Structure 1
Protein backbone atom coordinates (compact mmCIF):
# COMPACT_ATOMS: atom_id res chain seq x y z
CA UNK A 1 0.00 0.00 0.00
CA UNK A 2 1.39 3.39 -1.00
CA UNK A 3 1.10 6.56 1.05
CA UNK A 4 -0.21 9.52 -0.98
CA UNK A 5 2.30 12.23 -1.64
CA UNK A 6 1.48 15.30 0.47
CA UNK A 7 1.87 17.69 -2.47
CA UNK A 8 -0.35 15.56 -4.73
CA UNK A 9 -3.02 15.40 -2.04
CA UNK A 10 -2.96 19.18 -1.49
CA UNK A 11 -3.05 19.81 -5.24
CA UNK A 12 -6.02 17.44 -5.66
CA UNK A 13 -7.93 19.17 -2.87
CA UNK A 14 -7.19 22.58 -4.42
CA UNK A 15 -8.48 21.40 -7.82
CA UNK A 16 -11.68 20.03 -6.25
CA UNK A 17 -12.29 23.33 -4.41
CA UNK A 18 -11.70 25.39 -7.57
CA UNK A 19 -14.04 23.17 -9.60
CA UNK A 20 -16.71 23.43 -6.91
CA UNK A 21 -16.53 27.25 -6.98
CA UNK A 22 -16.62 27.29 -10.78
CA UNK A 23 -19.65 24.99 -10.82
CA UNK A 24 -21.51 27.08 -8.23
CA UNK A 25 -20.85 30.29 -10.22
CA UNK A 26 -22.02 28.66 -13.44
CA UNK A 27 -25.17 27.28 -11.81
CA UNK A 28 -26.00 30.65 -10.21
CA UNK A 29 -25.43 32.58 -13.44
CA UNK A 30 -27.31 30.12 -15.63
CA UNK A 31 -30.54 30.97 -13.83
CA UNK A 32 -30.19 34.65 -14.76
CA UNK A 33 -32.73 35.41 -17.46
CA UNK A 34 -32.41 38.13 -20.05
CA UNK A 35 -35.57 39.93 -21.18
CA UNK A 36 -35.46 41.62 -24.58
CA UNK A 37 -38.26 44.06 -25.42
CA UNK A 38 -38.75 45.46 -28.92
CA UNK A 39 -40.76 48.70 -29.33
CA UNK A 40 -41.99 49.95 -32.71
CA UNK A 41 -41.02 53.60 -33.27
CA UNK A 42 -40.94 53.44 -37.08
CA UNK A 43 -42.39 56.56 -38.69
CA UNK A 44 -42.31 56.02 -42.45
CA UNK A 45 -43.47 58.85 -43.03
CA UNK A 46 -46.36 58.23 -40.61
CA UNK A 47 -46.58 55.66 -37.79
CA UNK A 48 -46.75 52.20 -39.32
CA UNK A 49 -46.82 48.53 -38.39
CA UNK A 50 -43.58 46.56 -38.58
CA UNK A 51 -43.15 42.84 -39.16
CA UNK A 52 -40.09 41.15 -37.70
CA UNK A 53 -38.55 37.70 -37.36
CA UNK A 54 -36.04 36.93 -34.58
CA UNK A 55 -33.84 33.87 -34.18
CA UNK A 56 -30.69 32.54 -32.59
CA UNK A 57 -28.62 29.52 -33.51
CA UNK A 58 -30.94 27.35 -31.40
CA UNK A 59 -34.28 29.19 -31.29
CA UNK A 60 -36.62 30.59 -33.95
CA UNK A 61 -39.14 32.99 -32.38
CA UNK A 62 -41.24 33.25 -35.55
CA UNK A 63 -42.78 36.23 -37.31
CA UNK A 64 -44.54 38.99 -35.36
CA UNK A 65 -46.26 42.24 -36.29
CA UNK A 66 -46.20 45.31 -34.06
CA UNK A 67 -48.46 48.32 -34.33
CA UNK A 68 -46.88 51.74 -33.90
CA UNK A 69 -45.69 52.16 -30.29
CA UNK A 70 -46.48 48.46 -29.67
CA UNK A 71 -44.02 46.15 -27.94
CA UNK A 72 -42.98 42.50 -28.00
CA UNK A 73 -40.82 40.77 -25.37
CA UNK A 74 -39.04 37.45 -25.03
CA UNK A 75 -36.85 35.93 -22.34
CA UNK A 76 -34.01 33.41 -22.40
CA UNK A 77 -31.03 32.26 -20.39
CA UNK A 78 -27.72 33.25 -22.00
CA UNK A 79 -24.94 30.74 -22.41
CA UNK A 80 -22.28 31.11 -19.70
CA UNK A 81 -20.44 27.89 -20.44
CA UNK A 82 -16.92 28.88 -21.53
CA UNK A 83 -16.53 26.16 -24.18
CA UNK A 84 -19.74 27.07 -26.09
CA UNK A 85 -20.35 30.14 -28.22
CA UNK A 86 -22.01 33.16 -26.64
CA UNK A 87 -25.72 33.86 -27.12
CA UNK A 88 -26.71 35.91 -30.19
CA UNK A 89 -30.25 36.79 -31.31
CA UNK A 90 -30.75 38.62 -34.60
CA UNK A 91 -33.92 39.97 -36.20
CA UNK A 92 -35.08 41.06 -39.62
CA UNK A 93 -37.56 43.94 -39.93
CA UNK A 94 -39.90 45.10 -42.71
CA UNK A 95 -42.65 47.68 -42.97
CA UNK A 96 -45.10 48.88 -45.64
CA UNK A 97 -43.76 51.31 -48.20
CA UNK A 98 -40.18 50.06 -47.81
CA UNK A 99 -39.05 47.24 -50.14
CA UNK A 100 -36.06 46.37 -47.95
CA UNK A 101 -35.38 43.73 -45.31
CA UNK A 102 -33.41 45.27 -42.41
CA UNK A 103 -31.22 43.18 -40.06
CA UNK A 104 -30.10 43.94 -36.51
CA UNK A 105 -28.39 41.94 -33.74
CA UNK A 106 -31.03 42.33 -31.06
CA UNK A 107 -28.94 40.62 -28.36
CA UNK A 108 -25.20 39.97 -28.51
CA UNK A 109 -23.89 38.53 -25.24
CA UNK A 110 -20.39 39.89 -25.93
CA UNK A 111 -21.65 43.40 -26.80
CA UNK A 112 -24.70 43.90 -24.58
CA UNK A 113 -24.37 44.32 -20.85
CA UNK A 114 -28.03 44.13 -19.85
CA UNK A 115 -30.55 41.74 -18.38
CA UNK A 116 -33.46 44.04 -19.28
CA UNK A 117 -32.70 45.06 -22.85
CA UNK A 118 -35.25 47.48 -24.34
CA UNK A 119 -34.90 48.23 -28.05
CA UNK A 120 -36.68 51.06 -29.82
CA UNK A 121 -36.74 50.34 -33.53
CA UNK A 122 -36.81 53.25 -36.00
CA UNK A 123 -36.25 53.60 -39.76
CA UNK A 124 -32.47 54.01 -39.26
CA UNK A 125 -31.87 51.07 -36.89
CA UNK A 126 -32.42 50.54 -33.19
CA UNK A 127 -31.50 52.04 -29.83
CA UNK A 128 -30.70 49.84 -26.84
CA UNK A 129 -32.01 51.16 -23.51
CA UNK A 130 -32.32 54.64 -25.10
CA UNK A 131 -28.59 55.38 -24.95
CA UNK A 132 -26.73 53.26 -27.53
CA UNK A 133 -28.04 53.33 -31.10
CA UNK A 134 -27.03 50.98 -33.91
CA UNK A 135 -27.53 51.30 -37.66
CA UNK A 136 -28.92 48.30 -39.53
CA UNK A 137 -26.34 45.49 -39.89
CA UNK A 138 -27.42 45.01 -43.48
CA UNK A 139 -30.28 45.88 -45.76
CA UNK A 140 -31.46 43.65 -48.60
CA UNK A 141 -34.14 44.09 -51.22
CA UNK A 142 -37.03 41.73 -50.60
CA UNK A 143 -38.15 39.29 -53.29
CA UNK A 144 -41.10 40.49 -55.33
Structure 2
Protein backbone atom coordinates (compact mmCIF):
# COMPACT_ATOMS: atom_id res chain seq x y z
CA UNK A 1 0.00 0.00 0.00
CA UNK A 2 1.25 3.50 -0.82
CA UNK A 3 0.27 6.82 0.72
CA UNK A 4 0.09 10.31 -0.77
CA UNK A 5 2.04 12.85 1.31
CA UNK A 6 2.28 16.63 1.15
CA UNK A 7 5.35 18.49 2.38
CA UNK A 8 4.95 22.16 3.37
CA UNK A 9 7.80 24.63 3.93
CA UNK A 10 6.47 27.97 5.14
CA UNK A 11 8.34 31.27 5.43
CA UNK A 12 7.48 32.68 8.88
CA UNK A 13 10.51 34.97 9.06
CA UNK A 14 10.14 38.62 10.11
CA UNK A 15 8.35 40.90 7.64
CA UNK A 16 10.09 41.57 4.29
CA UNK A 17 12.56 38.66 4.64
CA UNK A 18 12.75 36.25 1.75
CA UNK A 19 13.56 32.58 2.22
CA UNK A 20 15.54 30.76 -0.45
CA UNK A 21 15.24 27.00 -0.59
CA UNK A 22 16.28 24.02 -2.63
CA UNK A 23 14.45 20.72 -2.11
CA UNK A 24 15.08 17.34 -3.73
CA UNK A 25 14.95 13.58 -3.40
CA UNK A 26 17.04 10.96 -5.14
CA UNK A 27 14.51 10.98 -7.99
CA UNK A 28 13.11 14.52 -8.06
CA UNK A 29 14.89 17.88 -7.96
CA UNK A 30 12.29 20.53 -7.13
CA UNK A 31 14.68 23.36 -7.94
CA UNK A 32 15.65 26.51 -6.08
CA UNK A 33 12.89 28.90 -5.05
CA UNK A 34 12.71 32.23 -3.25
CA UNK A 35 9.54 32.69 -1.22
CA UNK A 36 8.03 35.67 0.57
CA UNK A 37 6.91 35.77 4.19
CA UNK A 38 3.70 33.78 4.64
CA UNK A 39 4.19 31.72 1.48
CA UNK A 40 3.76 27.94 1.70
CA UNK A 41 6.02 26.08 -0.75
CA UNK A 42 4.55 22.58 -0.96
CA UNK A 43 4.54 19.46 -3.09
CA UNK A 44 2.85 16.07 -3.18
CA UNK A 45 4.30 12.63 -3.73
CA UNK A 46 3.39 9.01 -3.26
CA UNK A 47 5.63 7.04 -0.91
CA UNK A 48 6.61 3.92 -2.82
CA UNK A 49 5.95 0.41 -1.60
CA UNK A 50 9.68 -0.02 -0.97
CA UNK A 51 9.50 2.59 1.80
CA UNK A 52 12.76 4.29 0.84
CA UNK A 53 11.54 7.80 0.00
CA UNK A 54 13.73 10.61 1.30
CA UNK A 55 13.38 14.36 0.66
CA UNK A 56 15.72 17.04 1.94
CA UNK A 57 15.68 20.83 1.80
CA UNK A 58 18.46 23.39 2.07
CA UNK A 59 17.14 26.71 3.40
CA UNK A 60 18.95 30.05 3.16
CA UNK A 61 18.12 33.28 5.01
CA UNK A 62 20.73 36.00 4.58
CA UNK A 63 24.00 34.58 5.97
CA UNK A 64 22.16 31.76 7.76
CA UNK A 65 21.41 28.34 6.31
CA UNK A 66 20.44 24.80 7.19
CA UNK A 67 20.03 21.51 5.31
CA UNK A 68 17.83 18.75 6.73
CA UNK A 69 15.54 15.88 5.83
CA UNK A 70 11.90 16.98 5.47
CA UNK A 71 10.63 13.44 4.89
CA UNK A 72 11.92 9.91 5.35
CA UNK A 73 9.72 6.86 4.88
CA UNK A 74 10.62 5.54 8.30
CA UNK A 75 9.23 8.82 9.76
CA UNK A 76 5.86 8.34 8.08
CA UNK A 77 4.21 7.81 11.46
CA UNK A 78 5.22 11.40 12.37
CA UNK A 79 3.36 12.88 9.39
CA UNK A 80 -0.39 12.28 9.14
CA UNK A 81 -0.07 12.60 5.35
CA UNK A 82 1.32 16.12 5.83
CA UNK A 83 4.77 17.22 7.03
CA UNK A 84 4.69 20.90 7.95
CA UNK A 85 7.90 22.91 8.40
CA UNK A 86 8.18 26.60 9.35
CA UNK A 87 11.30 28.73 8.96
CA UNK A 88 11.36 31.29 11.79
CA UNK A 89 14.03 33.74 12.88
CA UNK A 90 15.14 31.45 15.73
CA UNK A 91 15.10 28.17 13.80
CA UNK A 92 13.06 25.53 11.98
CA UNK A 93 9.82 24.14 13.45
CA UNK A 94 7.84 21.00 12.63
CA UNK A 95 4.31 19.63 12.88
CA UNK A 96 3.07 16.32 11.49
CA UNK A 97 -0.23 17.72 10.24
CA UNK A 98 -1.73 20.64 8.35
CA UNK A 99 -3.11 22.85 9.64
CA UNK A 100 -0.38 22.42 12.22
CA UNK A 101 -1.07 21.92 15.87
CA UNK A 102 1.66 22.86 18.30
CA UNK A 103 4.93 23.19 16.39
CA UNK A 104 8.15 21.81 17.83
CA UNK A 105 11.51 23.44 17.22
CA UNK A 106 13.77 20.95 15.45
CA UNK A 107 16.79 22.90 14.17
CA UNK A 108 18.77 26.08 14.72
CA UNK A 109 20.13 28.13 11.85
CA UNK A 110 23.85 27.76 11.00
CA UNK A 111 25.97 30.78 10.14
Q: How does 1:1-80 map to 2 (within 5 A)?
A: 29-30=1-2, 32-43=3-14, 46-80=15-49
| Structure with more strand by fraction | 2
- What 5-or-longer segments of structure 1 have no aligned partner? 1-28
Q: How does 1:111-130 map to 2 (within 5 A)?
A: 111-113=75-77, 114=79, 115-123=81-89, 124-128=91-95, 129=100, 130=102
TM-score with structure 2 setting the length: 0.78
Structure number with larger C-alpha Rg: 1
* Higher-RCO chain (CA-CA 8 Å, sequence separation at least 6): 2
Aligned partners of 1:47 and 1:110: how far apart in 2?
36
| Structure with more helix by fraction | 1
- What 5-or-longer segments of structure 2 have no aligned partner? none
TM-superposed CA distance for 1:47, in Å, is 4.3
The yes-or-no answer on 1:92 pairing with 2:58 is: yes
Q: Structure 1 stretches (4+) deviating beyond 3 angstroms?
A: 129-132
Q: Number of residues paired by the alignment?
A: 103
